Amino acid sequence: MGGYLLHHIVRFGRTLRAAGVPITPGQIVAFIRALEWLPLEDRALFYHAARCTLVCRREDLETFDRVFEWFWRNPLMGGQLPPGLLSTAPGPIRRQENRPRPAEVGHPPAPEPRSENPEAPPVILADRAMTYSPIEILRRKPFERFSEEEIQRVRRLMARLRWQISERETRRLRPGPRGEHLDLRRTLRRSMRHYGEWVRLLWRTHKRKPRPLVVLCDISGSMERYARMLLHFLHALSHTRRHVETFVFGTRLTRITRCLRHRDLDEALREVSHTVVDWSGGTRIGECLHVFNRDWGRRVLGRGAVVMIISDGWDRGDVELLRQEMERLQKSCYRLIWLNPLLGIPGYQPLTRGMQAALPYIDDFLPVHNLASLEQLAAHLERLPARRSARRSGLARPVPSGGPE
Amino acid sequence: MFPRSIDEVIRALEAHRYIAERGLATAIFLALRLNRPLFLEGEPGVGKTEVAKVLADLLETELIRLQCYEGLDVHSAVYEWDYARQILQIRMLEASGERDEARIRQQIFSPDFLIKRPLLQALEAKNGRPPVLLIDELDRADEEFEAFLLELLSDWQITIPEIGTVRAEQPPVVVITSNRTREIHDALKRRCLYFWIDYPSFEKEIQIVRARIPEAPERLTRQIVAFVQELRRLDLYKLPGVAETLDWTAALLALDRTELDPTVVDETLGVLLKYQDDVLKVRGEIAQDLLAKALLRAEIASGGA
């Protein structure tokens, strides 16, 4: 193969990577090997071969097409990728090297000094000498009343919360003394020690795994004052276990799972703010749930998923649609939890039209307004009942009670 | 036959009544040439599984199918010992006075007592031709199995502790399908040639119906395909796939219909749409509207042809 072509292909790979399509050298090699079998003058074949060797995710196909079109029109033209060619899907997670990393020795990440007050000494909360009461006050204080400094402190308390979502029995078997499936293979092998006499029967039992968790968080105008703390919460949650899918919604649904995979909170938040376009706008919960059910439901709700919706229930969309979509959502997940920050306000009644429409389909209705309520949530997730609650289609069930407090 | 060019692949697939677009044909051709697995994704009913079947026909070789499900393990995917026969054998050896443990072990853990499951079978070529291995709906299996598969796809060997390592002299032609109910890990997909099968265009879909149900009248075929194509523009939970188009055509033929009319569309909508919500949404006014558009399009298409 001509040296020029090889050179261009390598640069093409680099361009794709810059546009956010993750490509490995192995894939480039596969592409070059593929070209040995194709007539090079056929541009369509060249395109198809590149596509099936270099791309392995459907989300990337569109970006690939645009980059291909742009790059091969004149492969000699180098340099900057024109705007608009960048992948809309968040690319691979790459840490920005020049950013200072918070010290992580023995502590959860310390907060970086905020720009307003760069000189302020970091509050050392990891210090065990901290008295009980300040933390206690902080635990009970509603999120919206936090000062900047308190946010930083709570952020670290949050990172320390234990999230263990209740487990489910998978279909996979593993050796276990109290199992219900006879392990013939091990029994027979063991019996060889006793000349084929089955001295002891060995058993297999179901392996257990934590349930996947899917979070849908409202970021519309009315939720604005909680948004920051909630994003901290979502970030902390994403880094406790692997199977957390996170979406935010206002007037449209955005998946932010990949953004939140950044270890660094600020990096993650920056990525989220780039990805999400409908901050602090209106709310159309029904439409957003519809999009979720249609495009994502089948992909992320398998294997007994627990779904958490975080919203105050102020909805300016179609209420009937919201009701239908809630019903569908509840039927397709293991447990549907609604977290409402307003539930922390004494005397709050879920009277908004949206909340009223949603209530019959909610398994747990819990507050999310301070650290104590998050701890309560964590405890709740850990002890989810082994059976899912009854799903009655069309019949309104009694309103689930709010959590204690 | 072993295709030597992409056009040959397309022609051979057509001869086996599979209408493929050029992109898919390229991926298939390269999968055969580079010995890489073919990874097919797409909505249900666009003909992913069919590719493997047709490929086996075309290469005149055996099709080995592994249907994935949660909890799929080595015992059902790779091999299992025939315990009942092993126990019998032990009793017989005992009766004949055999007391040497090592000899008993050697006898009962021999290939004679091995039950080969699909992945082990796929390592053996029959009459010199490697088989086609279809790993269907990989997204249903769990991650443990995916990890195992990743290893197998790179070395084409399986180790059975009691016997040793089995290696494929010629790796099988592998087709993996996924419906994306779960994301498959990129590491596995990168080892494959990836192809997303889209819904076919109007003309392609007519060709498919013609190839699969040649007895369907030309006019009806055009109307059916035009209607299904219109239906796919709607916001539905599950859009009808090519499989549904074919089912519907067969259903209408069984009802002795020669053209679409509002009543028959309403009555047979359940063949196309698999969710009650979707059926309720489309039945009646929307269906009539789609039908009017479809009939027009079918007319125009026949005029042009």
Q: Do A51 and B23 touch (CB under 8 A)?
A: yes
Residue A175 touches chain B, beta carbons under 8 Å: no
Is the pTM higher than 0.90? The answer reads: no
Is residue B54 within 8 A of residue B16, CB to CB? The reply is yes
The verdict on residue B207 lying in a domain is yes
Residue A274 contacts B where some CB pair is shorter than 8 Å: no
| A197: containing domain | 173-210
pLDDT attached to residue B60: 93
Cα A9 to Cα A27: distance, rounded to the nearest angstrom: 11
* Token representation of residue B299: 């007319």
Whether A199 and A326 map to the same domain: the answer is no
In this structure, the answer to whether residues B148 and B178 fall within a common structural domain is yes
Domain containing B161: what range? 6-71+121-197
Indicate the residue among B111, B132, B161 that finishes a domain: B111
Domain total for chain B?
3
Smallest Cβ distance to B189: which of A30, A56, A191?
A56
User: Is B134 in the same domain as B61?
Assistant: yes
Query: Which among A48, A324, A328 is the nearest to B23, CB-wise?
Result: A48
Q: Are A179 and A203 in contact (CB under 8 A)?
A: yes
What is the interface pTM, i.e. ipTM, of the complex?
A: 0.88
Task: Based on the fold, state whether residues A58 and A30 are members of the same structural domain.
Answer: yes
Question: Hey, are the CB atoms on B190 and A299 less than 8 Å from each other?
Answer: no
Any domain includes B232: yes
Q: Choose the final residue of a domain: A58, A73, A88.
A: A73
| Distance (Å) from the alpha carbon of A69 to chain B's nearest alpha carbon | 16
| pLDDT at residue number A329 | 94
Q: B6 vs A26: CB contact, 8 Å cut-off?
A: no
pLDDT tens track of chain B, all 305 residues?
A: 688 899 999 999 999 999 999 999 999 999 999 999 999 999 999 999 999 999 999 999 999 999 999 989 888 999 999 988 988 888 888 888 887 878 888 888 899 999 999 999 999 887 788 999 999 999 999 888 998 999 898 888 898 888 889 999 889 999 999 988 888 999 999 999 999 999 999 999 999 999 999 999 999 999 999 999 999 999 998 999 999 999 999 999 999 999 999 999 999 999 999 988 899 999 989 999 999 999 999 988 876 54
Same-domain pairing of B125 and B174: yes
Chain B residues closer than 8 Å to A34 by CB: 30, 33-34
The span from the CA of A163 to the CA of A381, in Å, is 8
Give the whole-angstrom CA distance, residue B189 versus residue A53.
10
Question: What is the per-residue pLDDT for A84?
Answer: 59
CB contact under 8 A, A188 and B83: yes
The span from the CA of A313 to the CA of A353, in Å, is 8
Phi-psi label, residue A393: left if phi above 0, alpha if psi -120 to 50, beta otherwise: beta
A226 & A337 share domain: yes
The SS3 assignment for B188 reads: helix
Residue B175: what pLDDT?
A: 97
Listed residue (B249, B246, B245, B241) closest to B199, CA to CA:
B241
What pLDDT shows up at residue A302? 85
- In this structure, are B161 and B137 located in the same domain? yes
Look at B71 and A48 and tell me if their CB atoms are within 8 Å: no
Nearest to B30 among A49, A185, A324 (CB): A49
Q: Are residues B18 and B154 in the same domain?
A: yes
Same domain, B242 and B269: yes
Inside any domain, residue B254 = yes
How would you classify residue B178: left for phi > 0, otherwise alpha for psi between -120 and 50, otherwise beta? beta
Tell me the residues of chain B between 50 and 69 that have a Cβ less than 8 Å away from chain A.
69
Q: How far apart, in Å, are the Cα atoms of A134 and each of A146, A150, A154, B192, B243?
A: 13, 11, 11, 56, 65
Chain center to CA of A104:
24
Q: Is residue A396 part of a domain?
A: no
Q: Give the pLDDT score at A389.
A: 74
Which of A34, A185, A298 is closest, CB to CB, to B34? A34
B144 vs A contacts (CB less than 8 Å)? 172
Indicate whether A286 belongs to any domain: yes
For A222: left if phi > 0, alpha if psi spans -120 to 50, otherwise beta; the answer is: alpha
Tell me, yes or no, whether A197 and A231 share the same domain.
Answer: no
CATH number, domain with residue A353: 3.40.50.410
Q: How far apart, in whole angstroms, are the C-alpha atoms of residue B39 and residue B27? A: 9
- Could you read off the pLDDT tens digit of each residue along chain A, which spans 405 residues? 567 888 899 999 999 999 889 899 999 999 999 999 998 888 899 999 999 999 999 989 999 999 999 888 876 665 556 655 555 444 444 444 444 333 333 333 333 433 344 343 333 333 333 334 566 677 777 777 778 888 888 877 887 777 888 888 888 888 888 888 888 888 888 887 777 777 888 999 999 888 999 999 999 888 888 888 889 889 988 887 668 999 999 989 999 998 898 888 888 888 888 888 888 888 899 999 999 999 999 889 988 899 999 999 888 888 999 999 999 999 999 999 999 999 888 888 888 888 999 999 999 999 988 888 888 898 888 888 877 777 655 444 444 444 443
